[in-house]
Amino acid sequence: MVTPESLEIAREFYSSLPASVAQQLLRSWANGWTTSFRMHETQLLNCIFCCFGQPDNQQHYLICPSFGGVINCVLGPCLAEGFLSHLCLVNCSVLSAARLIVASLSYHSMNNYPVRFLLRLSAAGDLDGIR
Ligand SMILES: [Zn+2]
């Protein structure tokens, strides 16, 4: 639960970080990931980590078991569970901030890679478009 006290702790934590790191947190806090849902694209995608029936949106990626598993492999397990902890709004720590930043950067790297193009073709049933 977000309270005025937890927001103040998050603000102090945010302020203690280098600007480039803090900017990545702010991007996530502002729902700034460029997902197909946020960008109101005509073809809305499912989770790019293949969760069946789950949307390509930031809310899902913060609790996505497939994506979380990858991040756990890279940075170790999350010490505090829950959407708000994953968003680094409660239980703020350097590890939780690193997890969120790695998640954001990884998503955007995947999103800008040909995998997104391939997912669109697959969703449209246009496998002949893959060359
Ligand atoms: Zn997923």
Ligand 1 center–CA 5 separation, angstroms: 31
Domain segments of the chain as ranges: 4-124
Q: How far is the CA of 68 from the centre of ligand 1 (A)?
A: 9
Sign of the dihedral through C-alpha 34, 67, 23, 108 = negative
Number of other residues whose CB lies within 10 A of the CB of residue 125: 8
Return mean pLDDT, the chain: 87
Which residues make Cβ contacts (< 8 Å) with residue 96, sequence separation at least 6?
Answer: 78, 79, 80, 85, 86, 88
Report pLDDT digits (tens) over 19-69.
998 999 999 999 999 999 999 989 898 998 889 999 999 999 999 999 988
CA of 15 to the centre of ligand 1 (A): 31
Distance 47 CA to ligand 1 centre (A): 5
CA of 51 to the centre of ligand 1 (A): 4
Single pTM value for the model: 0.78
